[in-house]
Structure 1
Amino acid sequence: MGSSNQWDAEWEVSEELAHKLISSQFPQLASKSVKKLGHGWDNTVFLVGAEYVFRFPRREVAINRLRIEGKILPMLKDYVSITYSVPLFFGEGDYDYPAPFLGYPYLSGEFPIGLTDQQRALSATTLAQFLKSLHAFPIQIAQENGVQHDHRNMTDIALRKEKMHKFITDLALHFSEEEYHVISNYLEQLETEKVKQKHVFLHGDLHFKNMLVDMNGRVSGIIDWGDINIGHPACDLNLVYSFLPPDARSNFFKEYGDVDEETKLLARLIAILIPILIMMQAIDDRDEKLVDEAKANIKRALAD
């Protein structure tokens, strides 16, 4: 079907179809229930029994990403210091469903929605250790397994600004006048047009919908690795601004290491861009809880 939004599905995956695909290819799971948990831009996610989560691509662009993810994730065990999703089941399209799919152990935890600044600060060192180690994964191994270089051209700030101006104009009715002007003024004052490219291994899509926290609000899991790529560390370092409150950022950098101002500038920009994109889809889905959390992420990213 044609898509009117860039996050719209090109094909839908129902619970019935997911159960049929899973049970036919993995008979040991045939007796387990299949319940839809939700969807992102690229994948629909199902809980299978109480032990597994399966991700099914809902757009063609996600197919190759999922195959790469299936190859790379098992290789990261010595480079990832937070629990993450390692695939156990590798399925292929059938019953007119055109894509591969993956199954992982279920990771317990909740999305970090509505946390206090004190709770967020608990994870500053944990996140720094995670990203420092992840960014050290050998680029050559990533390349040999098909990982792309900065396929979204994230270092082009001028292009990001142009798109963000359009996005916030489209979203104007969902911001207060003050919120709109704060974002608009930030973009107007951003004079850098492009930053120098850097090349590290990235998760590529770190935000509050791809993180899990424990009952104390401490980060306990990282999920959805479908945007793995080689690119600028600022893409992952956006969490320093979107997730951590200002007074916890110095603790992050003490552990992660020194970062130049250009990297910080790009990281903050991405920390505003990603929640704007999440907000757009959440409005389309009429999910006010996600809209509010996305706006809180933007406000935190703009705070000094």
Structure 2
Amino acid sequence: MHADQVDVSADVVAALVAAQFPRWRAHPVRPVVSHGTVNALFRVGEEIVLRFPLQPSLDPELRDALVREQEIARRIAAHVPVAVPEPIALGEPGEGYPGPWTAYRWITGDSADGLDVGASAEFARDLAGFVRSLHRMATDGRTWGGQGRGGPLHTRDEYVRAALAGSSHLTDTVRLARIWERCLDTPPHAAADVWIHADLMPGNLLVRDGRLAAVIDLGAVNVGDPAVDLMPGWNLMTSGARDTYRRALGVDDATWERGRGWAIVQAIGALPYYVDTNPVMADTARRTLDAVLADG
């Protein structure tokens, strides 16, 4: 999927585990099928999942980001009504893999992108409950720091217009451009910034018995505009569930419109980038943009 992607094998992972965490060496290592775009996943026995960045680096910034993600997971766990990843360890670079990696407790559940939960009002309310709890966490005065999602929409204008210009063969870019302009004209976020997940994609939502069981992949968690966490309204939910999600969150018209804008930002970038390399991500992007067009 990425020009600088490193493909790590189960044998390499098993050797790294044996060298760095000998207490786990008796457990089998097997890859986990995933359509994610950031990490390769491997399961160690029944209780542990390892996350290997697809674009590893010895740059201290990557290590800092992985440490931060684990710290955030510990902080969030006490405040939300469903499970989030539980950190176990931080792995070091080794033979066959040039970068740090992480270990978490395995969470049982199926990814929402392979299930028919998009029309479920119960699932929409479950997700809204997670989002409300996350948004209510104390920020201690933090504000959006200029990185990641969560800032003013206009900071993504050049990116969106470039993606639209290269996607006319994939979607109705003329209508999307009009909707995007309307989103840009929406009053900006003026209240205090809140904690946001910022990557509520279907693949990051785990389901058991039709209900939300866990929210995973906390690497994009940030402080910023709560509208970013409205993206599932378009990337997963049908019209009825989308209305349920909005009502459960109680957001005003301006916040909802900015959420639509963030759905466009994510999807119009993902569609051309993954159209040939990750069909699941590309299909999610198409579904998102189709919902935006139908709803707009």
Shared fold (TM-score, shorter chain, > 0.5): yes
Native 8 Å contact 2:85 2:104 kept in 1: yes
Q: Is the partner of 2:169 in helix, strand or coil?
A: helix
Q: Is the partner of 1:172 in helix, strand or coil?
A: coil
CA shift at 1:59, angstroms?
4.0
Of residues 203, 210, 214, the one that matches 2:204 is: 210
Q: Deviations over 1:7-54 (max 9, x none)?
A: 543644332322222221211221333233346443322222333211
Q: Is the partner of 1:88 in helix, strand or coil?
A: strand
CA shift at 1:225, angstroms?
0.6
CA shift at 1:68, angstroms?
0.5
* Structure 2 match to 1:236: 229
Distance 1:255 1:275 in 2: 24
* Structure 1 match to 2:27: 32
Distance 2:25 2:18 in 1: 4
Q: TM-score, length-normalised on structure 1? A: 0.81
* Structure 2 match to 1:76: 76
* Structure 2 match to 1:173: 169
Distance 2:87 2:149 in 1: 28
Distance 1:129 1:291 in 2: 28
Native 8 Å contact 1:39 1:45 kept in 2: no
Native 8 Å contact 1:150 1:229 kept in 2: no
CA shift at 1:153, angstroms?
6.0
* Structure 2 match to 1:156: 152
Distance 1:25 1:86 in 2: 19
Of residues 266, 282, 293, the one that matches 2:284 is: 293
* Paired positions, count: 289
Distance 1:234 1:73 in 2: 21
Q: Is the partner of 1:227 in helix, strand or coil?
A: coil
Q: Is 1:280 matched up with 2:272?
A: yes
* Structure 2 match to 1:15: 10
Distance 1:189 1:136 in 2: 29
Q: Is the partner of 1:134 in helix, strand or coil?
A: helix
Indicate how the Cα distance of structure 1 residues 59 and 97 shifts in structure 2: closer, same or farther if over 3 A, else same: closer
Structure 1 letter corresponding to 2:140: Q
Distance 1:56 1:39 in 2: 14
Q: Is the partner of 2:43 in helix, strand or coil?
A: strand
* Structure 1 match to 2:216: 223
Structure 1 letter corresponding to 2:208: D
* Structure 2 match to 1:199: 193
Report matched runs for 1:264-275 at 5 Å: 264-275=256-267
Percentage of matched positions with identical amino acids: 26
Indicate how the Cα distance of structure 1 residues 231 and 56 shifts in structure 2: closer, same or farther if over 3 A, else same: same
Q: Is the partner of 1:90 in helix, strand or coil?
A: strand
Native 8 Å contact 1:125 1:255 kept in 2: yes
Distance 2:185 2:161 in 1: 15
Higher relative contact order (CA 8 A, sep 6+): 2
Indicate how the Cα distance of structure 1 residues 194 and 170 shifts in structure 2: closer, same or farther if over 3 A, else same: farther
Q: Is the partner of 2:147 in helix, strand or coil?
A: coil
Q: Is the partner of 2:269 in helix, strand or coil?
A: helix
Q: Is the partner of 1:107 in helix, strand or coil?
A: coil
Q: TM-score, length-normalised on structure 2? A: 0.83
Distance 1:72 1:188 in 2: 34
Structure 2 residue runs of 5 or longer lacking an equivalent are none
Structure 1 letter corresponding to 2:222: N
Native 8 Å contact 1:85 1:105 kept in 2: yes
Native 8 Å contact 1:148 1:229 kept in 2: yes
Distance 2:160 2:287 in 1: 17
CA shift at 1:223, angstroms?
1.1
Structure 1 letter corresponding to 2:287: A
Structure 1 residue runs of 5 or longer lacking an equivalent are none
CA shift at 1:262, angstroms?
2.4
RMSD, matched Cα: 2.9
CA shift at 1:196, angstroms?
3.2
CA shift at 1:270, angstroms?
1.1
* Structure 2 match to 1:247: 240
Structure 2 letter corresponding to 1:72: I
Indicate how the Cα distance of structure 1 residues 301 and 65 shifts in structure 2: closer, same or farther if over 3 A, else same: farther
Native 8 Å contact 2:35 2:203 kept in 1: no
Range with greater deviation from structure 2 (63-72 or 190-199): 190-199
